[in-house]
Amino acid sequence: MYKILPLLVTVCSFSTFAQETNDKYQDVYIAAGYSSHELSDKTGDAFEGYFGARNIYENSFFVGGELEGQIIQNSSLQDSIGLKEKYALSANIPLGKRFELSESIDLDAYGLIGYSMLKTDPSMDDTSYGFKYGVGADLNMTDWFIGIRYTEVDLHSDLDQKDISLLVGYKLNSLFK
């Protein structure tokens, strides 16, 4: 918890700073992704789905929220210790800055904090929840974006979940114009 406290203070102050400007707009998006997934040094694959929104302020800083679901296939973990990963659910808060590269292309660079739940068979009640953190970058076109991110989940009992994800997403804003 003491590792997260400075990050939470930064998040709160960032949100206050971002809200000082009045002009903002919002990107609402859905995305799908594939990741190289690792738990307890055993690697596998994960297929992901995202639904989220980002409030982008006049100064190009943004803060958002997203829900993430992963379906995990990690046969090396099952073969080594008999633990089958089924899925993971997360709630994430991306914080970052949008850089305009051209009139129709932007780059989002961000940090990410959240909380994640991992479902396994047999169940690991004491190790299946933890804080999530990471970094990412998205290349935004008019309605679409592609991105890459690295995340870790600090599970109890010295287990860490690590993912390197490739995302492709669609901004729903154009549907409501």
pLDDT of residue 113: 98
pLDDT of residue 84: 86
Number of domains in the chain: 1
**Domain containing 94 — which CATH number?**
2.40.160.20
pLDDT of residue 8: 54
Using CA atoms, how far apart are residues 64 and 33, in angstroms rounded to an integer? Answer: 18
pLDDT of residue 21: 47
Structural domain boundaries, residue 163: 5-176
pLDDT of residue 174: 63
Positions in the chain short of pLDDT 70 = 1-23, 125-127, 157, 174-177
pLDDT of residue 41: 86
pLDDT of residue 25: 87
For residue 148, list its beta bridge partners. Answer: 137, 166
For 167, the enclosing helix (H) or strand (E) is strand 160-171
DSSP string of 22-62?
S-EEEEEEEEEEEEEEEETTEEEEEEEEEEEEEEEETTSEE
